[in-house]
Chain A
């Protein structure tokens, strides 16, 4: 029999239903896998082996017995949640995030916390206070970020399902670089309650999974209005598994001319172009579209996101929880030393950037201007979707880069999110699925974007492509 850790959630679901396997067998298989591999991958910052003692007795729920790895910025009651930062060391939330509550209610089992860039500030998982996670396809390379731990654990079969969060590409880019599926839902589709905020107007929680069907399954559980999150939207959640039809006849797919630019890796470009031809062969109509404000997305993002972050991260001051510098001479000294020693460099860089952008005299020139450009970017998509049902782009301009390669060059690091950031600014849903490999056997990802609250079209297109290619079945040699 195949090792349970190799299976997907929907495969395990079927086996559990037929009593061919028990949740504890799945967990044991995973724990062994994690024990064998994670010393090298370092996807986990905390493994909760005690979860095997708390398997729900009644075999109920849409995800009964399915293990889920949780990104370290999503609150799980009484389990240390640190956002990959020293400043939150020891913080055990007194409550479950809404997504965790919903997963638990459906019988899913949170098995631990995944490594991430500190406070999700990064595209490589290197800014974590626990050190970098390695890409399972090449241990000298980064897994992408910030949800690098979640994506690497899925790619190395160290978990069945994983949760990530995406503020500018933090689900999709690591999914792409690790050769797995990652979905950023529409802003407001999934409750943010319990997600430790990076940039509140951009953050969304989403699934990182082995295939598209698992992503749909997970969305069926985590999506939907939450009265605890005023930004979640009260729109009925469809059964996403109904969109897994292998039929895209008549689907109009837009290809933005601004996305195939200089700087994009040749192998990535040709792989994505091949994907476009395949989709055409499968019955889709390809239309060229224009997203004219694309070039301003990265700079807009790097004003809006740090501005919100500078305020969101103000609460980490040593007063109530987490790390506190103990020998401070007075209050101000405690604030300064706690934050100086608690935050890493990238966090400090973004707090400074955001504080500056919001300061009197600079607000209009930076924050206000950025909000106006953001509206323009959103209008670009509104216009584009008049002529197409979804849009296809590369997820990342390159495959996984080497650990350390971009750490001293933040600008080039920021550019690795160039194709993903716009979806966050516009609030639209986007998915990354595997679409090929480089000559060096590194995964390449394809991004599909759709209208707000039209995740169904994403699932339909992604599933059709996945089932016709099978890239998702490739595994790294570990």
Chain B
């Protein structure tokens, strides 16, 4: 194979906005409620009902658009996208067609050590559909309209992404920003963040785009990367075999680790878009945009740089800490209470994050208050517990939600650092182990280890090892 190919990828992210109520009615957006319990005539599309735009959803959209450097449309207008499906109560979706809320944005990412600018083509606001389930062997399907009418932001890139890894890195960076804006849970498992991809290949150096294939049904960033890799490989082998790539929509099957054809372009629907007559177009006031722009939070990249500068952290640590806003906030809360920032960073990036992974939870759900982590670190510093004990205490803290002192106290883990007490214990041990003392004095240095062990046994391991060593050596030298 002499020819080399390059992959051209564009991504479409759907983001559920975390508003209290749905985008065109007053129903709750709470996740996981009883099916169809969060519905009303409007989101059920009942005859005679009319949509009213949720102002918060609109403001959240502007926030996202500004954070992604987009231009904001001065006139906001909605359109109807017409198609029939049982999860779509009105058989049309209120969306935005020719005048998306915002356009011409960009996101700078780092991928494989290189900086890259991914252009954002458009961001628009629309309503989500309901959810169909097909019970096994049943002759019917069930529909849950709790999700119908949830505010959904569609973020579409230009075909600027040139590898599956880059797609992964773009999504990671995008998710971090969206989380920083606090406009969405960005939880792929709950479906609050979803991603479709368009992928094509072309011979390296060629300007013209190849035939594009749309890939759907990837419910993690990892699957996006895998699916795109599969798709790129599949397309290359087709071209190598002198076969045609068909413009189509394919579904990622994570079980088979393959994409499977869903429908071809010929079957593509005519959505018959037209302006939504039930919502009056309105002008966006410049002052509102400027207010939102001014109130934008510090975004992940700026925060990384600040962490390196203000806390003297390594870029690596700073990046990990700022990859999640809650984690970064947590670090800064801790940093206010404790001098050694590097120690905090180590504890968060190692022990705490390990527990977050095990429990598959965020820092907040983990339940270790910043003051409690600092309490733990201070006990190490004051030599009340050893670093090793502290790791166990932390796990206990997560399990019981108690603070470090309570745990150390109730489990009797308090380290003995009282020199006089240790001195007493050592004298006692030495008096009972005359043979080992002699052995040591005769040059058997490992007798020392035995004697330390005896001291530890007497104290159930709670004696401060460095103090034990120091005093023991002093006595043996006598």
Q: Give A residues with C-beta under 8 Å from B.
A: 74-75, 81, 83, 88, 91, 93-95, 97, 192-197, 199-201, 227-231, 307-308, 310-311, 314-317, 319-321, 331, 335, 355, 358-360, 363, 367
Contacts and interface: CB of A to CB of B under 8 A. Distances in A.
Interface string B244-277: 0000000000000000000000000010111001
A360 B270 contact: yes
29 contacts: A74-B48, A88-B47, A93-B47, A93-B48, A95-B46, A192-B50, A193-B49, A200-B278, A201-B277, A227-B52, A228-B50, A229-B52, A230-B50, A231-B50, A307-B274, A308-B274, A311-B82, A311-B272, A314-B90, A319-B143, A320-B44, A320-B46, A335-B84, A355-B272, A358-B82, A358-B273, A359-B272, A360-B272, A363-B274
B47 A196 contact: yes
A310 B83 CA distance: 11
Contacts of B272: 310-311, 355, 358-360, 363
Nearest to A200: B277
Interface string B29-61: 000000000000100111111111100000000
Contact of A231 (B47, B82, B278): B278
Interface of B: 41, 44-53, 80, 82, 84, 86, 89-92, 143, 270, 272-274, 277-280
A358 B271 CA distance: 9
Contacts of A74: 48
Contact of A367 (B41, B44, B274): B274
A197 B48 contact: yes
A372 to B, nearest CB: 13
Contacts of B82: 310-311, 314, 358
Nearest to B82: A311
B149 to A, nearest CB: 14
A308 B278 CA distance: 10
A82 to B, nearest CB: 10
Nearest to B271: A360
Contacts of B53: 230
Contacts of A200: 277-278
Nearest to B86: A319
A228 B46 contact: no
Given A94-B41, A231-B280, A360-B270, A315 B89 contact: yes
Majority-rule SS of B interface residues: loop
Nearest to A201: B277
A93 B274 contact: no
Contacts of A229: 50, 52
A321 B270 contact: no
Majority-rule SS of A interface residues: loop
A94 to B, nearest CB: 6
B50 A193 contact: yes
Contacts of A311: 80, 82, 92, 272, 274
B91 to A, nearest CB: 4
Contacts of B273: 358, 363
B50 A314 contact: no
Contacts of B279: 230-231
B90 A93 contact: no
A360 B268 CA distance: 12
A94 B46 contact: yes
B76 to A, nearest CB: 12
Nearest to B276: A200
A91 B41 CA distance: 13
A308 B45 CA distance: 15
B277 A75 contact: no
Nearest to B26: A228
A230 B51 contact: yes
Nearest to B145: A320
B277 A95 contact: no
A212 to B, nearest CB: 28
A93 B41 contact: yes
Contacts of A320: 44-46, 89
B25 to A, nearest CB: 9
Given A229-B50, A358-B272, 10 more contacts: A75-B47, A193-B49, A193-B50, A230-B53, A231-B50, A308-B277, A311-B82, A317-B84, A320-B44, A320-B46
A477 to B, nearest CB: 38
10 residue pairs, one from A and one from B, having the closest CB atoms = A314-B91, A200-B277, A358-B272, A201-B277, A196-B47, A194-B48, A75-B48, A315-B90, A196-B48, A360-B270
Nearest to B269: A360
Contacts of B48: 74-75, 81, 93, 97, 193-197
Contacts of B90: 314-315
A316 B90 CA distance: 8
A170 B466 CA distance: 96
A360 B46 CA distance: 28
A380 to B, nearest CB: 21
Given A311-B274, A314-B92, A93 B46 contact: yes
A307 B82 CA distance: 11
Contacts of B52: 227-230
A321 B44 CA distance: 11
A456 B127 CA distance: 40
A334 B202 CA distance: 44
Contacts of B143: 319
A81 B84 contact: no
A162 to B, nearest CB: 18
Contacts of A88: 47
Contact of A331 (B45, B86, B277): B86
A321 B90 CA distance: 12
A93 B41 CA distance: 9
A317 B278 CA distance: 21
Residue from B50, B51, B91, B273 having most chain A Cβ neighbours under 10 A: B50
A279 B441 CA distance: 132
A319 B52 CA distance: 24
Contacts of B92: 311, 314
B19 to A, nearest CB: 17
Nearest to A82: B47
A1 B278 CA distance: 49
A91 B51 CA distance: 21
A193 B24 CA distance: 13
Contacts of A358: 82, 272-274
A193 B40 CA distance: 14
B85 to A, nearest CB: 9
Contact of B45 (A75, A192, A315): A315
A360 B45 CA distance: 25
Contacts of B280: 230-231
Contacts of A75: 47-48
Residue from B48, B52, B53, B89 having most chain A Cβ neighbours under 10 A: B48
Nearest to B45: A315
Residue from A83, A199, A228 having most chain B Cβ neighbours under 10 A: A228
B160 to A, nearest CB: 28
Nearest to A331: B86
A367 B273 CA distance: 11
